[in-house]
Amino acid sequence: MFRTMVLLFALAFSATLFVQHAAAGEVTDQIRVSIDKVIDIVKNKDLKKPENTSKRRSLIRKAISEHFAFDEMAKRSLGMHWRGRTDAEKKEFVALFTDLLERSYINKIESYSDEKIAYISESVENDHAVVRTRMVTTRNVEIPVDYKAFKEGNKWFVYDVVIEGVGLVNNYRTQFNKIIRSSSYQDLVKRMKNKQDEAIFDDKSK
């Protein structure tokens, strides 16, 4: 299940055709800015050259981070274990978590170009919102992808992506909690530093 979500999350950033089914709102417009920028980068022929790999991935990461709160994602993914961390540990974990996302998704983002995204609706309650979309694969299969966001100043930031009713943050939290409880927080950090993605993502219970 989690491996499927990893793939779908990457696909959600790589669609080249957007079909708007409902009137856009402030949240939708802002999130779409980041996604559109990623699309432009992926389609850029010059940036596709092997010698521009580092530059391309840096630009993708920058575009995503404009409206995706990796620090909030990291905090929520660590769950109850976040409270016991020092400021230095929190800073380190956010950096490792962001790097984890980059390594897990950017190589997949670069591989897809024919999917479609339909922006369905958005709901706003005070400083929180949900943008509902449908991703249409090349096999014409529709997959619901919802973006949960919060407002800070005049900007909206995504803190979770829910695919077919299952949130990425919750999946990370399950994996991280399993490692910490069976070993330790230090072991989790060690695995993340050593880029042991499979050990973190592989949920044998599913």
- Per-residue pLDDT of the chain in tens (206 residues, 90 and over written 9): 444 445 455 555 554 444 444 446 899 999 888 878 887 888 888 988 989 988 988 898 888 888 889 999 999 999 999 999 999 999 999 999 988 877 766 666 666 556 677 888 999 999 999 999 887 877 888 888 899 999 999 999 999 988 888 888 998 999 999 999 999 999 999 999 887 555 555 444 34
- Asked whether 70 and 98 are in contact (CB, 8 A), the reply is yes
Long-range contacts formed by 177-185: CB under 8 A, 24+ apart: 177/79, 177/80, 177/81, 180/81, 185/81, 185/84, 185/85, 185/89
pLDDT score of 107: 64
Whole-angstrom CA distances from 89 to 9, 74, 80, 92 are 27, 12, 14, 5
Give dist(CA 168, CA 166) in Å, integer: 7
Phi, psi of 44 (to 5 degrees): -65, 115
Give dist(CA 135, CA 9) in Å, integer: 10
Hunting for tokens 């399993």 — which residue is that? 178
pLDDT score of 99: 85
Residue 35 CB partners (closer than 8 Å, separation 6+):
12, 13, 15, 117
> Full-prediction pTM beyond 0.95?
no
Residue 16 CB partners (closer than 8 Å, separation 6+):
39, 43, 113, 114, 115, 116
Sorted by where each starts, the structural domains of the chain and their CATH numbers stand as 2-201 (3.10.450.710)
Give dist(CA 202, CA 62) in Å, integer: 28
pLDDT score of 177: 95
pLDDT score of 113: 56
Phi, psi of 80 (to 5 degrees): -60, -25
pLDDT score of 20: 47
pLDDT score of 109: 67
Give dist(CA 156, CA 111) in Å, integer: 28
